[in-house]
């Protein structure tokens, strides 16, 4: 089934309103994205989400759980497809910055372009995000105010590519189409070994358009920077002094590897998956979604 057909099915079934959360997932990070799914289903049981699956085992698991998914990279080079499916056997075929990783990220970028052209309002999220409270009312307000897109600024004028609210306005479509074209050109340079894959990301291309080339500053795209206390980055959510009380979403970025991300979630009491269950087969895996109390302030040094 084509990506656009899946989007039409979700829209007809009332699963894509008011937004369509969209997430890239693979078997290697299954505990992380199941943690997201536990929080998401607790807060928005009626809301659909479209998973862009990188491997068939993940797609099969999602189908068994009744989730909508689309398999990326079906037409990729055989050696890349083999590396991706190798994840089912424990191989790290998708290490950050590898050529295969960059290829699939371009597949994600192009899938988002196709969905925007199909008039879908999207919330593009990384698998290491977590909902603590429902952010959809805030996005409805942002849409009413006429913004084209909204994102987290995780450093000065650096919008995170792992959490983006996007309306299918002409401005958003033009920006994202431009980025997709540039992403493809950079990927060709990587495949031809004229550029190192780990030194580049689609996020850098997005911010070059928004800030270096002025799309945000001259309001060719109306960009809303999300409140930092409601949308916590990995720099803040796991550091002392930042409260979870006003937080809607936590993004466990500024860390690499599932082991470290899981350690951070557990330490902050933000892991809502029952320990020891088979994530691939068991449905009743989720713990109650309870936002933990903020840790006490450290004692003053005498």
Which CATH number goes with the domain that contains 262?
Answer: 3.90.550.10
Q: What residue numbers bound the domain in which 116 lies?
A: 3-267
Domain membership of residue 299 (yes or no) is: no
Residue 75 pLDDT: 56
Domain membership of residue 197 (yes or no) is: yes
Residue 282 pLDDT: 59
Residue 186 pLDDT: 83
Cα separations (Å) of 108 from 52, 56, 71, 175?
A: 7, 16, 10, 15
Domain membership of residue 300 (yes or no) is: no
Domain membership of residue 288 (yes or no) is: no
Write out the two tokens for 33: 């994205």
The answer to whether the pTM exceeds 0.75 is yes
Parts of the chain with a pLDDT under 70: 74-97, 195-200, 280-283, 296-302
Residue 64 pLDDT: 86
Q: Which residue, among 127, 214, 204, has the nearest Cα to 159 in the 3D structure?
A: 204
Q: Which residue, among 160, 289, 172, has the nearest Cα to 228 in the 3D structure?
A: 160
Domain membership of residue 117 (yes or no) is: yes
Residue 91 pLDDT: 41
Quote the number of domains for the chain: 1
Residue 90 pLDDT: 37
Domain membership of residue 209 (yes or no) is: yes
What does the pLDDT look like over 54-92, one tens digit per residue? 888 889 989 888 899 999 876 555 555 555 555 443 344
Contact 112, 122 (CB under 8 A): yes
Residue 160 pLDDT: 94
């Amino acid at each position: 089934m084509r990506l656009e057909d899946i989007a039409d099915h979700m829209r007809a079934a009332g699963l894509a309103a008011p937004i369509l959360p969209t997430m890239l997932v693979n078997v290697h990070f299954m505990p992380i994205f199941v943690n997201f799914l536990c929080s998401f289903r607790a807060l928005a049981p009626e809301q659909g989400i479209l998973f862009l699956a990188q491997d068939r085992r993940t797609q099969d698991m999602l189908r068994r759980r009744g989730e909508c998914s689309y398999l990326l990279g079906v037409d990729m080079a055989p050696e890349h497809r083999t590396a991706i499916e190798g994840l089912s056997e424990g191989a790290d075929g998708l290490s950050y910055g590898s050529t295969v990783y960059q290829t699939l990220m371009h597949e994600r970028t192009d899938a988002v372009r196709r969905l925007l052209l199909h008039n879908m309002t999207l919330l593009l999220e990384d698998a290491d995000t977590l909902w603590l409270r429902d952010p959809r009312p805030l996005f409805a307000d942002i849409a009413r105010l006429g913004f084209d897109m909204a994102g987290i600024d995780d450093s000065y004028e650096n919008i995170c590519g792992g959490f983006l609210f996007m309306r299918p306005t002409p401005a958003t479509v033009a920006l994202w189409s431009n980025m997709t074209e540039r992403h493809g050109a950079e990927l060709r340079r990587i495949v031809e070994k004229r550029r190192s894959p780990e030194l580049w990301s689609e996020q850098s291309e997005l911010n070059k358009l928004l800030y270096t080339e002025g799309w945000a500053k001259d309001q060719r795209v109306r960009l809303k920077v999300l409140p930092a206390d409601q949308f916590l980055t990995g720099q803040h959510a796991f550091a002392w002094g930042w409260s979870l009380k006003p937080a809607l979403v936590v993004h466990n970025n500024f860390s690499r590897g599932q082991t470290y991300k899981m350690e951070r979630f557990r330490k902050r009491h933000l892991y809502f998956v029952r320990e020891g269950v088979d994530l691939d087969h068991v449905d009743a895996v989720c713990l109650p979604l309870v936002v933990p109390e903020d840790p006490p302030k450290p004692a003053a040094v005498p």
